[in-house]
Amino acid sequence: MSLTLDFTNLLSSAVGADHGLSEAAIDNQAGRTRRIHAELQARRDSGELGFYDLPGDTRAAAEIRAAAQRVRDHFENFVVLGIGGSALGVIATQTALGHAFHNLLPADRRSGPRLFVPDNPDPELTADLLEVLDPKTTCFNVITKSGSTSETMAHYLAVRDLLARTVGPSKVKDHLVITTDPAKGALRKIAAAEGIPSLPVPPNVGGRFSVLCAVGLFPAAVVGVDIDALLAGAGAMERRCASDDLWSNPAYLHSTAHFLFDRERRKNIAVMMPYASALRDLADWYRQLLAESLGKRLDVEGREVHCGQTPVKALGATDQHSQVQLYVEGPHDKVFTLLATERWRRETPIPPAHPEEDALSFLGGRTLGELLSAEQRATEYALTKAGRPNCRLIFPQIDAEHVGEFYMLFEIATAHGGGLYRVNAFDQPGVEEGKDATYALMGKRGFEAKRAELEAAFAKTKPRRV
């Protein structure tokens, strides 16, 4: 059994013609989808789009498993230093597949070392983390495809110094693993010069598409995730999406519907709402994938388009008590993807008590799983009744195979979305200005002119504060 996309409630037959899509409107995109599919396959065949082929890279998987075993054998704590695509997949996989309180379990009941991912370079967060960790029993995995991301480099320098002071300069490298480009970047140079163990990020795999290479797989293997199952699921989804038939390809159907909602129904917000705490951070991973890939100023012909839906993450049932009022009655500007599981890995029974109280008596004898699943169906019903298009992605259960399917489904959907919007889904030029300005403010060599530009701009701005 694989993931299933139930798109019934995206259609006008469910939510009305003003807010839903007709089957004919979707069908109109079939020819376009065939062309985009052919283009993507050509780019894949030319070696440009490496993410498609990661599930079949058994050599990389074996290298990752062996490196992970060394960490598992020697360390109690494992810290990932990375940000963006170099952190979000790590977090999402662990939240989905690890014990919800993995770090609190005693060592003999934990599936691997404790895992920490302090992606934000927040001084208080990092200071607090480094205070509670014993460096002698901690391995740090520095992950950066480019080998030059300031946040990650700053963390690396802090950790390196801590290790030198605690385990001694000669042992620093024993506590580090670097995941970066196989040939380029400052960190690759450092790894080679200092003999720090390292893993490669394939050059043709972009940051936010890298969860199924060493970036996401190595930390997953360290904490005991079955990475072969993760890859098997991703491979199965890749084969399922090898068809250019819109109606049988869940990735193309999802991206086409979202494109049409944006363009023809003015729904420029895509909400992903898991109904399982374990799936919560998959929505965070999806948020980056969609935002950085399709949020673009220019199309491939260089025309100003300023396109892209705004991805929003929500969590059922928590956000029923926070966001659903807006979702059901607010502006008609959203399309929803609910994530649901058909089978809970564990159950919590609700013991009966207080039979005289209507507020409690109906719950007794049921389970929390039944309650949360009912709430998911109820929200779906309420959204549909209010004319809010929604679809449901169904996990037969939450396991490594289905999480692998999830990753590949949305990577392919996003690549296809790039074709629909006619933008480059694989770059992120909008991030550069802020990055360069940070370099300038922090005094990086070569950014003196940028610093002068910033200072002039700040000098001209009259602050308005209250």
Single residue of 126, 144, 249, 320 touching ligand PA5 by CB under 6 A: 144
73 burial via Cβ count (<10 Å: 0-12, 13-18, 19+): exposed
DSSP conformational letter for 83: -
Could you tell me if residue 168 is left (phi over 0), alpha (psi between -120 and 50 degrees) or otherwise beta? left
DSSP conformational letter for 156: H
Strands 176-180 and 138-143: parallel
> Rounded to an integer, what distance in angstroms lies between the CA atom of residue 248 and that of residue 457?
53
Cβ 187 to ligand PA5 shortest distance, Å: 9
Single residue of 19, 37, 110, 145 touching ligand PA5 by CB under 6 A: 145
Catalytic pick from 306, 321, 460, 462? 321
- Show the beta-strand stretches assigned E in 242-331: 269-274, 296-298, 304-307, 310-313
Task: Provide the edge-to-edge strand list for the sheet that holds 390-395.
Answer: 4-6, 390-395, 334-341, 269-274, 310-313
Single residue of 55, 112, 207, 216 touching ligand PA5 by CB under 6 A: 207
Is residue 149 part of the contact set for ligand PA5 (CB under 6 A)?
yes
Helices (H), 295-362: 324-329, 358-361
Catalytic pick from 48, 136, 435, 455? 435
How many Cβ atoms from other residues are within 10 Å of residue 303's Cβ? 9
Q: Is position 292 annotated as part of the catalytic site? A: yes
x/- contact string, 252-271, with ligand PA5 (CB under 6 A)? Answer: --------------------
7-31 as b/e: b if 16+ CB within 10 A: bebbbbebbeeebbbeeebbeebee
Cβ 149 to ligand PA5 shortest distance, Å: 3
271-300 binders of ligand PA5 (CB under 6 A):
292
Cβ 435 to ligand PA5 shortest distance, Å: 8
Cβ 210 to ligand PA5 shortest distance, Å: 7
Tell me the residue type at 292: E
Cβ proximity to ligand PA5: between 384 and 428 the closer is: 428
Chain-centre distance of CA 385, in angstroms?
30
356-415 binders of ligand PA5 (CB under 6 A):
none
Cβ proximity to ligand PA5: between 89 and 369 the closer is: 89
Cβ 429 to ligand PA5 shortest distance, Å: 11
> What are 40's two structure tokens?
């993507």
Cβ proximity to ligand PA5: between 144 and 198 the closer is: 144
Single residue of 319, 428, 440, 447 touching ligand PA5 by CB under 6 A: 428
Cβ proximity to ligand PA5: between 149 and 255 the closer is: 149
Cβ 310 to ligand PA5 shortest distance, Å: 17
Cβ proximity to ligand PA5: between 207 and 233 the closer is: 207
Residue nearest to ligand PA5 (CB): 207
Q: Is position 435 annotated as part of the catalytic site? A: yes
Catalytic pick from 151, 238, 292, 405? 292
> Rounded to an integer, what distance in angstroms lies between the CA atom of residue 446 and that of residue 394?
50
> Rounded to an integer, what distance in angstroms lies between the CA atom of residue 390 and that of residue 377?
11
* Of 186, 168, 187, the residue nearest 178 (C-alpha): 187
Question: Is the separation of the CB atoms in 7 and 257 below 8 Å?
Answer: yes
Single residue of 37, 110, 208, 287 touching ligand PA5 by CB under 6 A: 208
x/- contact string, 74-93, with ligand PA5 (CB under 6 A)? Answer: ---------xxxx-------
- Binding segment toward ligand PA5, per CB under 6 A, in 161-169, 201-209, 221-229, 397-405: 201-209
Cβ 214 to ligand PA5 shortest distance, Å: 12
Residue numbers of the site for ligand PA5 (CB under 6 A)? Answer: 83-86, 144-146, 149, 152, 206-208, 292, 428
* Residues identified as active-site: 292, 321, 435
